Amino acid sequence: MSKNLILEDIVKIYGKLYAVKSMNLEIKEGEFLTLLGPSGCGKTTTLRMVAGFEEPDSGKLIYNGKVINDLIPQRRNFGIVFQSYALFPHMKVKENVAFGLKMHKYPKNKIEGRVDKLLNTVGLIEHKEKYPPQLSGGMQQRVALARALAPSPEVLLLDEPLSALDAKIRVKLRGEIKQLQTDLGITTIYVTHDQEEALSISDRVVIMKQGLIEQVDIPINIYKKPVSKYVADFVGTSNFFEGSLNDGFIEGRNFKIKVKESKEINSGEVTGAIRPEKVEVVMGHPGKKLVKENLLRGKLMVVVFLGLMVRLVVKVGEMDIIVDFLEKRFEDMGINRGDAIDLYFPPDGFTLYKNE
């Protein structure tokens, strides 16, 4: 039997607030799964229930075919890494990593070897005699990770472990965490509000909203095929056109734009979402036939350089349209802030959502 972790109709209530509402989710053995969402969406509460620090008000937590609701955290054999590191400042690095081993009654004659192996894995073997305050934030987080892994947990739980670190260290360490997880093959549940972090390291991502699961999918589908306007807005950036859909056109206050209809949505009040990289800047005579309604003129208001990419903010009527494309192409265009430019919105670049 595979050691999958199943959340079955899990509910958690604080007073009158439903922190988690009837959650159903299966985490596969060896999978790196991320819970992603804004503050207050229920992701950390979910993780704490899995860890055993919170008890569900209803529903079942099932691991390896057995209900574990009543198991105390120490008996679940799940390792957890907190945002705050939670290291003992008066203990040396090696003593912090050994702490969990001693709690799990690990053989005394094997503790030092296990500690050295873990510290070597996280690249801190030469710092084992130091105290946590003598280390950088990134190093302290590595110590916390080594300590969580020391007792060989079957599941690793990570609660926003990188949010206190600066951007460069965060990018480096998230890559190291993913590589370590892949090498060990350990089932991992990761909590973050950082969409870039979630998309870059996860096998699957769970998008949460107000205690509910909005979408579960592989990262590329979360970005390219968001199932709701909420996901399209929360993950990445989208331009939204709201209006009435008739005969393949969305008609709003100052626009009537052609979209590719879906089988499910062909009329009514809708929102059409289009990613910034799908919007085209048209210069001179385009080499293809364009739908004239989808060619809109605007004024270039903002230019943001993002290294390889450039992001433009263009005022079109009352809308601020965001456009992304390669920096080299922007340089070749020779356009500047304040210029009037033409934008083209390909009909097949839109995803449609019914307005609630």
Contact between 122 and 154 under an 8 Å Cβ cutoff? The reply is: no
Terminal C-alpha separation, the chain:
43
pTM, rounded to two decimals: 0.90
CA–CA separation, 118 and 130 (whole Å):
16
- Distance, C-alpha 81 to centroid of its chain: 17
Q: Tokens in use for 301? A: 């208001």
Per-residue pLDDT reduced to its tens digit, 103-150: 878 888 898 999 999 898 888 999 999 999 999 988 998 899 999 988
Q: How many residues does the chain have?
A: 356
What is the CATH number assigned to the segment(s) 237-354? 2.40.50.100
Q: Are 343 and 279 in contact (CB under 8 A)?
A: yes
Pick the more confident residue, 162 or 130: 130
Task: Give the tens place of pLDDT for each residue, 81-98.
Answer: 988 878 899 999 999 999
Residue 78: pLDDT band (50, 70, 90) is very high
DSSP-assigned beta bridge partners for residue 18: 13
What is the per-residue pLDDT for 264? Answer: 84
For position 33, what pLDDT does the model report?
98
pLDDT (0 to 100) of residue 101 = 87
Strands 268-274 and 350-354: antiparallel
pLDDT given at position 331: 86
User: The tokens of 190 are what?
Assistant: 């990761």
pLDDT, tens digit, 9 for 90 and up, residues 7-65? 999 999 999 999 999 999 999 999 999 999 999 999 999 999 999 999 999 999 999 99
Alpha helices per DSSP H over the chain = 43-51, 93-103, 108-121, 137-149, 167-184, 195-201, 219-224, 229-234, 327-333
Higher pLDDT, 267 or 230: 230
pLDDT higher for 250 or 173?
250
- Confidence at residue 353, expressed as pLDDT on a 0 to 100 scale: 95
Give the pLDDT band of residue 1 (cuts 50, 70, 90): low
Which residue bears the tokens 């003992």?
88
Distance of CA 274 to the CA centre of its chain: 20
Mean pLDDT of 346-351: 95
Instruction: Report how far apart, in Å, the C-alpha atoms of 282 and of each of 52, 79, 239, 295, 341 are.
Output: 56, 53, 18, 8, 8
Segments of 142-294 assigned E as strands = 155-159, 187-192, 204-209, 212-217, 239-246, 249-251, 256-258, 268-274, 280-282
pLDDT in tens, 236-248: 999 999 999 999 9
The sign one gets for the Cα dihedral 35, 24, 20, 66 is negative
- Per-residue confidence (pLDDT) for residue 287, from 0 to 100: 65
- Nearest-angstrom CA–CA distance, 182 and 145: 15
Q: What share of the chain is helix, strand, coil (3-state, %, to 5)?
A: 30, 35, 35
Beta partners for 343? Answer: 281, 296
In tens, the pLDDT along 32-48 reads 999 999 999 999 999 99
Q: At what angle do helices 108-121 and 93-103 cross, to 10 degrees?
A: 130
> What is the fold, at CATH topology level, of the domain defined by 5-231?
Rossmann fold (3.40.50)
Torsion of CA 324, 327, 329, 331, to 10 degrees: 130
Closest by Cα among 119, 106, 192 to 153 = 106
In this predicted structure, what is the pLDDT of residue 251? 93
Q: Nearest CA to 294 among 249, 261, 333? A: 249
Written as one letter, the residue type at 33 is: L
Looking at 263-308, which runs of residues are DSSP E strands?
Answer: 268-274, 280-282, 295-306
Angle at 31 between CA 26 and CA 35, to 5 degrees: 65
The helices-and-strands tally (H runs, E runs) of the chain is: 9, 20
Please give the share of the chain, as a percent, with pLDDT higher than 70: 99
The region of weakest confidence among 71-80, 92-101, 285-294 is 285-294
Strand pairing of 32-36 and 204-209? Answer: parallel
Nearest to 184 by CA among 141, 140, 205, 153: 153
Q: Where are the domains of the chain?
A: 5-231, 237-354
Output the pLDDT for position 303: 95
Mean pLDDT of 274-278: 97
Residue 316 — pLDDT band, cuts 50, 70, 90? very high
Query: pLDDT value at position 216?
Result: 98
